[in-house]
Structure 1
Amino acid sequence: MISLIHTGDIHIGMEFKKASFGSEFARDRRNEIKETFYRIIDRAVDMNADFLLISGDLFEDEYATIGEIKEINKYFRKLNDTRIVIIAGNHDPIINNKSYYKIIDWAENVYILDTTLQKISFEDVNVDIYGLSWNKKLIKDNLFENIQIDDKNRINILLAHGDIYQKSSYLPIDRESIANKGFDYIALGHIHKHEFICKNIAYPGSPEPLDFGETGTHGIIEGSISKDELDIKFLPFSKREFVSIDVSVDDNMTVENIIENIKEIVREYDFKNLYRFNLNGIRDKDILFDTQYIKYRVEEYVIYAEILDNTTPDYDLDKLKQENENNVIGKYIEYMEEQNTEDEISKLALYEGIEALLSEKVN
């Protein structure tokens, strides 16, 4: 039996250039990604793991510095009894000899798979690990279609950075085909949300979430494997989570009401997480919500907050209908009123439609 940690999509060096948070917080998140990866290494030391599997995108080849990668390599040397097996992904492909995977003098316990299908054998623990590294930014073919296991009496593991959900340009993997190849464990990477595709095929997700598109828990997969038994589990490990919360608003509410509502909501959550509060509903047409002020007040209770105002003004329908009786706005109001707009959902749909039509009229 062997013990292992499976991770991937770490993205050391991430710049967060398109992130909604500012440069100062982006710098902090860049450092926190490294901190979390070092904690993963420490956990491998503590559990005396036989293997640390990294299924692609260890770093961002455009932004990571050679100093950052050398520092990681020094941490790898702490894992005296752990074999570290790495494949390159689409964010850190081995395109040429300038790749950090080529120019770094890696620790003796680090094994980086080639850009063609390769098998590395570990005789002392009866393990064969198969896989390949990316050598370009897009791979449209299923490169594992014809993969075959050499010895089914050994523990056979496949490392793959690709898309098992759809036929995309990021190394599409056929779920049924790969499941029938006979691997004891298939360690996937590329998708940032953790999921067990089946008992022995899993994405660990990114250990640290990168933006508000990656809500929920993030972490690693750890456990043990033998020819007769597979005992692995997902372990939450991130320092922070991205949390998106809908906040209902009505036309009687003030800015202070909204702040108090958010304050009550965050009592149930962790201060350290990053929050996006989505203001939804209908507001007084004469009141504009100062989202920057709400953000300032809410950040008394959480480390970071974004406020998105998705509210719709509460229009005077009779006045609008009278002013627009001969155009599409007036006809739209008449039609919607005939459909019965008493419930909140229908009323909101009516107001959102009016807002869109008024916007077109102005433009």
Structure 2
Amino acid sequence: MRILHTSDWHIGRSFHGHATLDALRGVLDALVEQVRENEVDVVLVAGDVFDSAAPAAACYAVLTDTLRALSDTGATVVVTSGNHDSAARLGFQASLLRDGIHVVTDPLSTGTPITLDDEHGTVHIYGIPFLEPALVRHLWPGAELRSQRQTIEHAMGLVRADAAVRGGRSVVMAHCFAAGVDATPGVEREIRQGSLDVVPASAFDGPDYVALGHIHGRQRLSERVRYAGAPLHYSFGEADKPRGSWLVDLDAAGLAGVEWLELPVPRRLSTIRGTLDELLADERFGDVETDWVCAQYTDATPQSDPMRRLQKRFPFCATVMHTPVGARGDDGSTYALRVRAARSDAELIDVFLSHVREGEGASERESEVIRGVIGEHTLAEART
């Protein structure tokens, strides 16, 4: 049996205020072609299908069209809900979907597989929807479910018990933060509190393959346990992480092989750094002019209207950051505390300049001008 493992489509998510629906639709069309070309039997979508609990109407159209296209290839499709999804909205029409498309959102379905057959026998696919401990613990009153770890371990206990009775090969889908993964800060919405909700890889012992979702970059926890990541880049922090899915083969004995299938990147992500004048004119930035751009300008002081000026050269400049060269590190004191600690007007102005310049205070020449102005002002006050 040949399986394609994908996840974290995040239909409806924006990229620095820019819509991504058209780009995602193109990438998902490419994924459908990969399913057809590789004669995939089963497509697994491991959670975070939508980016929000209340997606716009256009998001449903993208999902419907993609599921229909995947089904038209002859593949069975299994979708589970993630922490971004509303299980109710994602699963409300599950019973109306055409044969071969399964949307798993009911926590009580945990431990009940979707069973498929190939020339070697049966394969049981156990979809575990995202389980929020506070919302599902009443369903299993005899179990202590206070963390993601406890909840996933309980769910996997149900899976293993059922698989032991049924026999055959098994595949699990889950959406969680597993120990040992490399997350992208600020991208994956947290589903953990400190280390309490980190799920150990050992929780997934048993199945022939475990298809995980939630982390946006591909990850290999073991030969059997993997994250596929998101099919589209949603952050500059993901720029160096490839986009794609895992092509998984099962034979009579279980896992036979896993191959990475690259997906196209609609527009590259590039971070560029230099003074604003350099960013606007230097030829070394010529090859990124049509990329999504994160511009970091290093001038000592904030410049006027940098986004508008940069977008004349980089029409897809998505974010601008002022990162002065030689900025002093944070000494742990807040701006308010430094203001209160200033012993003179000159020091107060220096504190302000250091704050707005991210660490760089007044230069020697500026200090002279400040002292001169303050001196004249003080003299004028004394005469009134």
TM-score, length-scaled by structure 1 = 0.71
Matched, 1:93 2:86: yes
- The answer on whether the counterparts of 2:80 and 2:103 sit within 8 Å (CA) in structure 1 is yes
**Residue from 243, 253, 273 that aligns with 1:247:** 273
The secondary structure found in structure 2 opposite 1:35 is: helix
Instruction: Note if contact 1:55-1:161 (Cα within 8 Å) is conserved in structure 2.
Output: yes
Paired residue type of 1:89: G
2:127 equivalent in structure 1:
131
User: Residue 141 of structure 1 corresponds to which residue in structure 2?
Assistant: 148
Say whether residues 1:121 and 2:129 are aligned partners.
no
Taking a change above 3 Å as real, the CA distance of residues 132 and 169 of structure 1, as seen in their structure-2 partners, is farther
**1:292 is matched with which residue?**
307
User: What code does the residue aligned with 2:77 have?
Assistant: I
Q: For 1:58, what is the secondary structure of its paired residue?
A: coil
- What's the CA shift for 1:153? 6.0
Following TM superposition, by how much is the alpha carbon of 1:127 offset from its aligned partner in structure 2, in angstroms? 0.9
* Aligned mates of 2:23, 2:71 — CA distance in 1: 21
Q: How many residues align?
A: 306
Give CA deviations for 1:55-87 in whole Å, capped at 9, x if unaligned: 01122441142444433343233122x111111
**2:37 is the counterpart of 1:46:** yes
Correspondence 1:63 to 2:93 = no
Residue 177 in structure 1 maps to residue 202 in structure 2:
yes
Structure 2 contact 326–360 (Cα < 8 Å) conserved: no
Displacement of 1:327: 4.8
Q: 1:7 to 1:266 in 2, by over 3 A?
A: farther
Cα distance in 1, alignment partners of residues 76 and 326 from structure 2: 60
Residue 276 of structure 1, aligned match among 256, 280, 294: 294
Which residue of 1 is the match for residue 324 of structure 2?
311
Counterpart in 2 of 1:206?
230
Counterpart code for 1:288:
Q
Q: Secondary structure at the match of 2:179?
A: coil
Note closer, same or farther for the CA distance 1:176–1:136 as it changes in structure 2 (3 Å cut): closer
8 Å contact from structure 1 (residues 295, 305) kept in 2:
no
SS at the partner of 1:77?
helix
Question: Any gaps of 5 or more consecutive residues in structure 2?
Answer: 136-146, 181-190, 328-340, 367-384
Aligned to 1:257: 278
Aligned to 2:93: 103
C-alpha distance 223-198 of structure 1, shift in aligned 2 (>3 A): same
CA deviation after TM superposition for structure 1 residue 259, in Å: 2.1
Note the residue ranges of structure 1 that are not aligned, 5 or more in a row: 250-254, 315-323, 334-347, 359-363
The one-letter amino acid of 1:188's match is L
CA distances 1:71-115 after superposition (whole Å, capped 9, x unpaired): 3343233122x11111111222324xxx24222521211122342
Kept in 2, the 8 Å contact 1:45–1:78? The answer is no
Q: Secondary structure in 1 aligned to 2:148?
A: coil
Determine the C-alpha separation between the residues in 1 that align with 2:124 and 2:78.
11
Distance 1:157 1:189 in 2: 14
**Separation in structure 1 between the aligned mates of residue 6 and residue 97 of structure 2, nearest angstrom:** 19
**CA separation of 1:196/1:276 partners in 2, compared to 1, >3 Å: closer, same or farther?**
same
> 1-side partners of 2:133 and 2:21: how far apart?
22
Amino acid across the alignment from 2:258: I
Q: Which residue number in structure 2 is paired with residue 222 of structure 1?
A: 247
SS across alignment from 2:30:
helix
Shift of 1:185: 1.1
The 1-side partners of 2:134 and 2:361 are apart by: 41
CA distance in 2, matches of 1:78, 1:108: 11
Look up the equivalent residue of 1:265 and give its one-letter code: F
Alignment of 1:158-197 (within 5 A): 158-165=172-179, 168=192, 172=197, 174-179=199-204, 181-197=205-221
- With over 3 angstroms needed to count, the CA separation of the structure-2 counterparts of 1:130 and 1:266, relative to structure 1, is farther
The answer to whether the 8 Å contact 1:11/1:33 transfers is no
Paired with 1:13 and 1:246, the residues of 2 have a C-alpha distance of 27
Aligned counterparts of 1:233 and 1:175: Cα–Cα separation in 2? 24
Instruction: Report the RMSD for the aligned CA atoms in angstroms.
Output: 3.8
Question: Percentage identity across aligned positions?
Answer: 17
Q: 1:201 Cα shift? A: 1.1
Distance 1:193 1:138, change over 3 A: farther
CA-CA distance at 1:264 after TM superposition: 1.0
Quickly say closer, same or farther: Cα 1:275–1:237, change in 2 above 3 A.
same
Aligned to 2:169: 155
Could you say if the C-alpha distance between residues 55 and 235 of structure 1 is closer, same or farther in structure 2, counting changes exceeding 3 Å? same
Q: What amino acid is the match of 1:126?
A: T
CA contact (8 A) 2:80 2:127 kept: yes
Letter in 1 for 2:319: E
2:148–2:199 contact (8 Å) kept in structure 1: no
Which whole-Å CA distance do the structure 2 matches of 1:224 and 1:88 have between them?
A: 24
Aligned partner (choices 77, 87, 93) of residue 71 of structure 2 = 77
Matched residue of 1:353: which SS? Answer: coil
For 2:308 and 2:325, locate their aligned partners in 1 and report how far apart those are by CA, in whole Å: 19
d(CA) in 2 for partners of 1:61, 1:38 = 24
